[in-house]
Amino acid sequence: MLVGSVLSSLVATILVGAAAPTVRLAVWLGMLGPLVAALGTWVAVERMFRKQPEKVTGVLIKAFVVKMVFFGGYVALILKGSEVQPVPFVISFASYFLALHITEAVRLKRLFAPS
């Protein structure tokens, strides 16, 4: 997750070019929030799976609630509290949000797949 997100952000910022530093910042900030949330969730899920696999659903429900609050505050802070261009930020945020949640779902399926 981490490597893929960082590499894709690097590619996106290279494609944007040096002419738009605020767009590059928006791309990175759009990636950062979903990445932090996905990594935090995944660490919690893996720890619980090793200890008590039957409690993973509870961890996922708690993570969902925490993510709702986090994402609401994060998006509001970035859009209202900084001079980041909103359209590139929202495109980046939505893209990484979807990609990282799909990645989490696939990893969760593999985690519970019979060996």
pLDDT tens digit string along 92-105?
A: 999 999 999 999 99
Structural domains of the chain, count: 1
Which is it for the CA torsion 105, 86, 13, 67, positive or negative? negative
What confidence category does residue 18 fall into, taking pLDDT thresholds of 50, 70 and 90?
low
Asked whether the beta carbons of 9 and 27 are under 8 A apart, the reply is yes
Residue 19: per-residue pLDDT? 61
The pTM score is: 0.87
Range of the domain at 69: 2-112
At 38 the pLDDT is 96
What pLDDT shows up at residue 6? 84
Exposed e or buried b per residue across 44-66, where buried means at least 16 C-beta atoms within 10 angstroms of its C-beta: bbeebbeeeeeebeebeeebeee
Question: Higher confidence at residue 24 or residue 40?
Answer: 40
Question: What is the predicted pLDDT for the residue at 29?
Answer: 95
Residue with the larger pLDDT of the pair 83 and 42 = 42
